Amino acid sequence: MGLTRTFGDRPDRAPPTPQKIGKLREKVAEHLGLAPAQAEASHPGSPWKFAVVRKVQSLVGDPDHHVADWLEEGAPLGVRVPIPAGSGAYPLLASPAESTPEEALSLPALENHTSFREKGEFEEPPGQALIEEHLNKGFGILFSSRAAAEEHLGGSIATAPLGCVSRQKETGQWKHRVVMDLKLNGVNAASSTPERQVLPSVFDHAWDLATLAASQPDQTEIETMVLDFSDAFMSIPLAGAERPFNTCEVSTPIRRTRPPPSSKGRLPRGTW
């Protein structure tokens, strides 16, 4: 399909249409032994097809089977839903919660950081524009007031102060990233984690390649590829019980151009 030609800032061709991707997924489902309906099933808050992920994980012996469960039911935050330990890739380092969920919910709302409110050389604050962009991609629900959000989520919420980290590239273009300060609003203290998150190094990659090569016949060629997902974390849904701890609040109007969630309770993609 020449998919590599659709990547990058200046692709040689347009990406395949959703219809073509659906047809391809149907073929993949057939090879995996899944019914077409299974291959299309996804959480209301995520585009990931959890049955396909679960089947592939099973076939390749991926020990981190929790991923497919999170894509189907929502991922834990470690506040009300415990985070299970993984397959051993990260060192165990139990970090118990320092406070309770109720304490985080009882803290007063905090103002967003100055970096989120600053315009700089732009027409509007980049952080505000990015929140609006995420919202219209489907990564969140917009409420008219804090009270409306609390009514929808069934109680108090712990809004995180927002910040914006901006960096100018060598090309002159700016890259902006919105940060939710879950430390300042007490949510981090109410969360417990079973492992210490360590970024993989070049030595880990070399070890994986050596292990793979040792399991293959001589003269076997091995290729690697770096595949980066846009809005990767946004596409992982959050467990319903954790959603009150992953909210934010802005003081200026947000423009929503996409349709609102349906009355049947289906939620848009995203985690905040």
- Looking at residue 159, the DSSP 8-state letter turns out to be B
Residue closest to 46 by CA, chosen among 140, 132, 136: 140
Write the burial class of residue 224 (CB in 10 Å: 0-12 exposed, 13-18 middle, 19+ buried). exposed
Question: Is the pLDDT assigned to residue 44 strictly greater than 60?
Answer: yes
Q: What is the largest CA-CA distance in the chain?
A: 65
Quote the pLDDT of residue 270. Answer: 46
* Residue 86: band (very low, low, confident or very high) from pLDDT cuts 50, 70, 90: confident
CA distance 66 to 248: 27
pTM of the prediction? 0.83
What are 157's two structure tokens?
């919420």
Quote the pLDDT of residue 73. Answer: 94
Q: In this predicted model, what pLDDT tens digit does every residue of 48-78 receive, in sequence order?
A: 999 999 999 999 888 888 999 999 999 999 9
Going from the C-alpha of 235 to that of each of 43, 44, 109, 193, the distances in angstroms are 10, 11, 27, 21
Quote the pLDDT of residue 271. Answer: 41
Residue closest to 215 by CA, chosen among 65, 41, 106, 61: 61
Quote the pLDDT of residue 37. Answer: 92
Quote the pLDDT of residue 184. Answer: 96
Question: Is the pLDDT assigned to residue 266 strictly greater than 60?
Answer: no
Write the burial class of residue 112 (CB in 10 Å: 0-12 exposed, 13-18 middle, 19+ buried). buried
Quote the pLDDT of residue 28. Answer: 92
Long-range contacts of 112-117 (CB under 8 A, 24+ apart): 112/161, 112/162, 112/163, 112/248, 112/249, 112/250, 112/251, 113/161, 113/162, 113/163, 113/164, 113/181, 115/163, 115/164, 115/165, 115/166, 116/161, 116/162, 116/163, 116/164, 116/178
Q: Which residue has the higher pLDDT, 259 or 96?
A: 96
Going from the C-alpha of 175 to that of each of 143, 168, 169, the distances in angstroms are 27, 6, 7
Give residue 113's identity as a one-letter amino acid code: H
Q: In this predicted model, what pLDDT tens digit does every residue of 173-215 receive, in sequence order?
A: 899 999 999 999 999 999 999 998 888 888 988 998 999 899 8
- The residues pairing with 195 across neighbouring beta strands, listed in sequence order, are 92
* Residue 263: band (very low, low, confident or very high) from pLDDT cuts 50, 70, 90: very low
Q: Where are the domains of the chain?
A: 1-73, 98-201+225-272
